[in-house]
Amino acid sequence: MRGNAIVTFFVLLLAGCIVGVGDAPPGTGDDDGSGDDTMQPPQPTTPLIDSVAQGTFKPIAPFTNIAGQALLVRKLDGSSDVSIALTGVGMNVAYTAHVHAAPCQYAAGGGHYKVDPAVVDVVEANELWIKGSSTPTGVLAANASFTHLARGEALSVVVHDPMAGAKMACADLISDDVASQDFQGTLAPFAGATATDMTTAGMLTAKRSGTSTVFMLSLTGLDKTALAYGSHIHAEPCNVATGGGHYKIDTSVVDTLETNEIWLPVTGYATAGTATAMVTVPFGVRTDAQSIVVHRTITVTPLNAPKVACANLTRMTPKMPLETTGSAIALPGANGAPLGGSAIMTRKLTGVTEVAVVMTGLTASTKYQAHVHNQPCAVEAGGSHFKFDRSITEAQAANEMWFELTADAEGSAHDSMWVAKTASADAMSLVVHSEMSRIACFDLQ
């Protein structure tokens, strides 16, 4: 879930009932519901992360029963982290996944994302590869960090069959779904433009919703004697391959087709060298709509339309944290207790991960433990404790996410905790324990 959290949490947050406990050990949260967190450190407020994108893995035929999550964290220092977590894969098998440059619906993610898109060959150093080995129960979790800020065409993660190399599963990398996103860009000529085109200037604005995108372009400094101008939304930023190729609605279509692209007609410039163009498309553009490029036709035969100017589509709407939520699922250890409630995990742009839970139906005046776990509720009742560093096998509060819940006289409880780290894709559930057993699980999706 992105954008707005569950209404219950808004009510509790406004009431001051859910507070953070930082990297403190379990049991130090606001268990009495007083909202008194004066002894706890404040959360960091400096942004460290540009954006967080998440996706859900689906199997690619003939593979079946594969599920899980992928996570892409773009950082303000110019690096990127990618993590994956899957169930239903082979046992004790080494796997490789790659970030791909197309959505899952088109050729199952298309080809590999390229750091330098001019390099056609498959070169690991020029791509974003994630490697890991599955457990004896067919669970795979892996992370990779890159000294490269993934661009907008990093659209999916694909896991490959290590035996034949076939694509096994794909997850779209979806950024926040704010209802309306505004974009703006200032047009400037390319360094290689002719002297005549060096006066080209202008402004691009765009407004994206879930069902449409409106583009408006204003141009000045055009050559009034030019045969024709054209402008198109492109799939790379201006400084990468001069905007790369045209943005494709269906990325598997190689040919240049106006119906599969976004073209803004440029007309009426012969009088003053100015023009405006506008187009509305019936869909919200993906993040690989990264620039607009203006072309100038300079000969009739053969057709020659060099790129003369470009503007990046820069998002003006603030980016949002990633929120994943789940409802209480009673486990056998609940012994039929009428458990209910909701949990939410928030990966913030400050590098903080916060998890909070509200529960009802507990035994009155009783303490419970809550831990973030590394598998979905349907797999081994949530599996084991989630660990930021999976190489540390023993339980450590600083390497995990724990807190304590104390039910009140009506059997209700709420609490939260946070750590100054970003949880990877295998932070998949929250499990609540009594002294004897696991009683409830929340899938964080």
User: Within a domain: residue 2?
Assistant: no
> Model's pTM, two decimal places?
0.90
Least confidently predicted of 17-26, 93-102, 196-205, 366-375 = 17-26
User: Within a domain: residue 202?
Assistant: yes
Q: Find, among 395, 393, 109, 101, the residue nearest to 235 by Cα.
A: 101
**SS3 of the chain:** CECCCCHHHHHHHHHCCCCCCCCCCCCCCCCCCCCCCCCCCCCCCCCCEEEEEEEEEEECCCCCCCEEEEEEEEECCCCEEEEEEEECCCCCCEEEEEEECCCCCCHHHCCECCCCCCCCCCCHHHCCEEEEECCCCCEEEEEEEECCCCCCCCCEEEEECCCCCCEEEEEECECCCCCCEEEEEEEEECCCCCHHHHHCEEEEEEEECCCCEEEEEEEECCCCCCCEEEEEEECCCCCCHHHCCECCCCCCCCCCCHHHCCEEEECCCCCCCCEEEEEEECCCCCCCCCEEEEEEECECCCCECCEEEEEECEECCCCCCEEEEEEEEECHHHCCCCCEEEEEEEECCCCCEEEEEEEECCCCCCEEEEEEECCCCCCHHHCCECCCCCCCCCCCHHHCCEEEEECCCCCCEEEEEEECCCCCCCCCEEEEECCCCEEEEEECC
Tokens at 173, concatenated: 């990398």
Same domain, 300 and 333: no
| Cβ count near 298 (within 10 Å) | 17
Same domain, 309 and 326: no
Domain that holds residue 109: 49-172
Same domain, 308 and 338: no
Tell me: pLDDT of 44 over 70: yes
Q: How many domains does the chain have?
A: 3
Same domain, 429 and 402: yes
Same domain, 167 and 204: no
Q: Which pLDDT value is given to residue 305?
A: 85
Q: Which amino acid is at 77?
A: D
Q: What pLDDT digit, counting tens, does each position of 395-432 carry? A: 899 999 999 999 999 999 999 999 999 999 999 999 99
Q: Which pLDDT value is given to residue 8?
A: 42
Q: What is the mean pLDDT of the chain?
A: 91
Q: Who's near 239: CB < 8 A, 6+ residues apart?
A: none
Q: What pLDDT digit, counting tens, does each position of 108-127 carry? A: 999 999 999 999 999 999 99
Last residue of a domain, one of 149, 172, 195: 172
User: Within a domain: residue 1?
Assistant: no
In this prediction, residue 19 has a pLDDT band, given cuts at 50, 70 and 90, of very low
Are the C-beta atoms of 184 and 252 separated by less than 8 Å?
Answer: no
Least confidently predicted of 30-34, 265-269, 301-305 = 30-34
Tell me how far apart the alpha carbons of residues 413 and 430 are, in angstroms, rounded to a whole number. Answer: 15
Last residue of a domain, one of 315, 344, 365: 315
Q: What pLDDT digit, counting tens, does each position of 162-209 carry? A: 998 999 999 999 988 888 999 999 999 999 999 999 999 999 999 999
Last residue of a domain, one of 120, 146, 172: 172
Same domain, 292 and 330: no
Same domain, 329 and 288: no
Q: What pLDDT digit, counting tens, does each position of 309-365 carry? A: 999 999 999 999 999 999 999 999 999 999 999 999 999 999 999 999 999 999 999
